[in-house]
A and B are shown apart, each in its own frame.
Chain A
């Protein structure tokens, strides 16, 4: 039952992530801006990573995994592509001019490549609590923390501007949703790894951990969709809240 729920949540999450990725790609065709392209690549590779991981877990539950081992390196590579694109996207969106942000971005990209090679070498061996694994988690998941911190800081600034009538609630909510999405993505990536380090059981072999990972992943995806492509009814609802007495 747990596995079925995890698979359903993964599929929904995958579909929404692909939707965000495709819409960003279509937007990039018009704007030719780096953030649209990099965030689109991040979403699409993340979706592929989730789908490969879910497929491998489901195959394992259904019987043997013989002949499907190739899904593991494929999952590792696609999961590494996502943070690489995300490091670039987050830097270009939030700190395009800052030199420290450019340096951090490059550190993140190079670190993620190193982590990918490290992980490919490890294969499905459970991660232990050591420097290599902790550093690998930091560089691949740190970008979600960065995106969340920048988004929440922006949300706080937007709230202050709203009091002066210099920002609208929709933009503020977009930043809030991006922040929540980043935190959920961070939880989705970090919690299973920490559990794996503590117990020695990989997320793919542990249905409960897969469930935690997929549910937080689903929250992350839905919030990302609301952040980038808030539906018109949702925008109207937020603006109506603005116009209502006492609405901020």
Chain B
């Protein structure tokens, strides 16, 4: 089964750093919370922006070497994720009413 954006990013963090899967997952969740996203509903293109903007700092705090480089690899991996998801129902509803 194809991995979604969140799972893909978690896998890349564990591959390219010393963080365990649980730590990588927790770090990513916290970063997404700071960005105002739900891990289950974020699209790959949105996650790529969050990874570039906020994740390097979080990885640095956790002692990951060359966090910017790790983040670029995550973004590369996300480009192959084909979840051009429709986004959360609430946003879709307000888009529909707006026309």
State whether the Cβ of B65 lies closer than 8 Å to any Cβ in chain A: no
Bound complex: CA A166 to CA B90 (Å): 16
Contacts A164-B49, A165-B49 given: A228-B36 contact, CB under 8 Å?
Answer: no
From B5-13, B70-78, B91-99, give the one contacting chain A: B91-99
Most buried by B among A35, A166, A167, A229: A166
From A1-9, A77-85, A132-140, A169-177, give the one contacting chain B: A169-177
Chain B contact residues: helix, strand, loop or mixed: helix
Smallest beta-carbon distance A192→chain B, Å: 30
Q: How many residues of B contact A (CB 8 A)?
A: 18
| CB-based contact B89/A96 at 8 Å | yes
Out of B34, B53, B89, B98, which one reaches A174, CB within 8 Å? Answer: B98
Out of A94, A164, A229, which one reaches B97, CB within 8 Å? Answer: A229
Contacts of A164 in B (CB 8 A): 35, 49-50, 53-54
Bound complex: CA A174 to CA B95 (Å): 10
State whether the Cβ of A160 lies closer than 8 Å to any Cβ in chain B: yes
State whether the Cβ of B79 lies closer than 8 Å to any Cβ in chain A: no
| CB-based contact B97/A166 at 8 Å | no
| CB-based contact B97/A24 at 8 Å | yes
State whether the Cβ of A230 lies closer than 8 Å to any Cβ in chain B: yes
Bound complex: CA A167 to CA B36 (Å): 10
| CB-based contact B89/A230 at 8 Å | no
Contacts of B90 in A (CB 8 A): 93-94, 150, 154, 175
Contacts A166-B49, A174-B98, A229-B98 given: A156-B36 contact, CB under 8 Å?
Answer: yes
Out of B36, B89, B96, which one reaches A160, CB within 8 Å? Answer: B36
Bound complex: CA A236 to CA B46 (Å): 24
State whether the Cβ of A31 lies closer than 8 Å to any Cβ in chain B: yes
Q: How many residues of A contact B (CB 8 A)?
A: 32
Chain A contact residues: helix, strand, loop or mixed: helix
| CB-based contact B97/A159 at 8 Å | no
Smallest beta-carbon distance B87→chain A, Å: 10
Contacts A92-B89, A96-B89, A164-B53 given: A171-B36 contact, CB under 8 Å?
Answer: no
Bound complex: CA A156 to CA B38 (Å): 13
State whether the Cβ of A198 lies closer than 8 Å to any Cβ in chain B: no
| CB-based contact B36/A159 at 8 Å | yes
Smallest beta-carbon distance A174→chain B, Å: 5
Smallest beta-carbon distance A206→chain B, Å: 36
Interface residues of A in 67-101 (CB under 8 A from B): 92-94, 96
Bound complex: CA A35 to CA B90 (Å): 9
Out of A23, A24, A228, which one reaches B94, CB within 8 Å? Answer: A228
Interface residues of B (CB under 8 A from A): 34-37, 46, 49-50, 53-54, 89-91, 93-98
Interface residues of A (CB under 8 A from B): 23-24, 27, 31, 33, 35-36, 92-94, 96, 150, 154, 156-161, 164-167, 170-171, 174-175, 227-230, 235
9 contacts between A and B (CB under 8 A): A35-B89, A156-B36, A160-B34, A160-B35, A164-B35, A171-B94, A175-B94, A227-B94, A229-B98
